[in-house]
Structure 1
Amino acid sequence: MRYRHTQVGYVTGGLTLVALPLIYYAFKAEGGLGAFGYAMLSAFGILAVLFSSLTVKVTDRELVFYFGPGFWERRFALDDIGSVEVVRNSPLYGWGIRYTHHGWLYNVSGLQAVEVTVRGEEQLRIGTDEPEALKHALEAARDPTPSGGD
């Protein structure tokens, strides 16, 4: 493993968890939870777990990243990566998984990201609180010259 980092989404996870008691009391005030209320509570609880973190790994062969305990895993062969650049996202892009005019964005917190151009996928942005370290790991893994071993 050349690189592995998990960024915790304190804001995304926290806001989702804060929504749980608000949903609960809103439905209680309207006469009871019922099936829809329980479904909403369950959905927000699941979202809190799924988007609680973003893990990025760079191996000798691929870039892998996923949310929470392995949700929405994406894999890209290093041979398919054309360019890597540190970028800053607009605050309007928000967090989670979304399509922007820069391509797909995967982010749990902050505005920093690494933009990766992938053959056949165009561009994607991976949010991270270690953009320089991720960029360096990707560039080092793609460099064909021997690095002295892993």
Structure 2
Amino acid sequence: MIEKTLHSDVIYREVQQFRQIWLWIILLPVSLLVAILFSYGMFQQLVLGVPWGDRPMSDIGLAIFGPLILLIVIGLPVLFYTAKLITVVDPEGIHIRYFSFLRRTVPFENLKNYRVYTYNAIFEHAGWGIHWHKNGWAYTVRGNRGVELELASGEILLIGSQQPETLVQAIDTGTKNYKARKAV
């Protein structure tokens, strides 16, 4: 757990968030526009009694699904704003937390190989975020660089990083310390 590791000997810690200006230039106006249009349509149909669109949903359906759709449209920017990828290397291993979705730890004993990796987020992983691919998972937030971990099980993990060389150095330090402790 990352909370536990913050009180131990942290070798490396990186926090990444969705702060790309282009994302917010697209996301905020689109979310706002959809919320306004949908609210207007709900008001038109449910309050004024004028059907909304050529094939309107029933009033009951609109009363049920309308607020859910608005919650999603308004919640999406909030989700992107609060989401963050936290990567921590400590004496136990590599801890990945994609707030608020997952927590994962890769103990050094399960690590077979690792390297700095340059990827194409759009073509290899269909964008940024948490993505499954045929050999494992990718955890990314921005950019096109990270560290690819090959686990003893054969699974491949990609951790996006703004400092992949530093992350690899931290993993080097952690694995050396782990092997030294194991040898004693």
Whether the TM-score (by the shorter chain) exceeds 0.5 is yes
Name the SS of the counterpart of 2:113 in structure 1.
Answer: strand
For residues 162 and 70 of structure 2, the distance between their equivalents in structure 1, rounded to whole angstroms, comes to 30
Q: Which runs of 5+ in 1 are unaligned?
A: none
Matches within 5 A, 1:104-119: 104-119=137-152
Name the SS of the counterpart of 1:31 in structure 2.
Answer: helix
Higher mean C-alpha deviation, range 79-88 or range 101-110: 101-110
Q: Which runs of 5+ in 2 are unaligned?
A: 1-9, 44-61
Corresponding letter in the other structure for 1:118: L
For residues 95 and 17 of structure 2, the distance between their equivalents in structure 1, rounded to whole angstroms, comes to 17
Question: What TM-score does the superposition give when structure 1 sets the normalisation length?
Answer: 0.80
Asked if structure 1 preserves the Cα contact closer than 8 Å seen for 2:17 and 2:81, the reply is no
Who is 2:15 aligned against? Answer: 6
**How many angstroms does 1:36 deviate by?**
2.7
Q: Which one has the bigger strand percentage?
A: 1
Asked if structure 2 preserves the Cα contact closer than 8 Å seen for 1:24 and 1:37, the reply is no
Question: What's the CA shift string for 1:58-78, capped at 9, x where partnerless?
Answer: 11012111123x431111111
Larger radius of gyration: 2
**How many angstroms does 1:79 deviate by?**
1.0
- Flag as ranges the 4+ runs of structure 1 deviating above 6 A: none
Who is 1:36 aligned against? Answer: 65
Name the SS of the counterpart of 1:10 in structure 2.
Answer: coil
Count residues with an aligned counterpart. 144
Asked if structure 1 preserves the Cα contact closer than 8 Å seen for 2:18 and 2:81, the reply is no
For residues 144 and 13 of structure 2, the distance between their equivalents in structure 1, rounded to whole angstroms, comes to 20
For residues 135 and 166 of structure 2, the distance between their equivalents in structure 1, rounded to whole angstroms, comes to 21
Q: Which one has the bigger helix percentage?
A: 2
Is 1:62 paired with 2:93?
Answer: yes
Percent same amino acid at aligned positions?
A: 24
Higher mean C-alpha deviation, range 37-46 or range 83-92: 37-46
Question: What TM-score does the superposition give when structure 2 sets the normalisation length?
Answer: 0.67
Who is 1:78 aligned against? Answer: 108
Return closer, same or farther for 1:118/1:18 CA change in 2, 3 Å cut-off: farther
Name the SS of the counterpart of 1:120 in structure 2.
Answer: coil
Is 1:138 paired with 2:147?
Answer: no
Who is 2:58 aligned against? Answer: none
Return closer, same or farther for 1:87/1:10 CA change in 2, 3 Å cut-off: same
For residues 139 and 69 of structure 2, the distance between their equivalents in structure 1, rounded to whole angstroms, comes to 24
Is 1:87 paired with 2:117?
Answer: yes
Is 1:20 paired with 2:27?
Answer: no
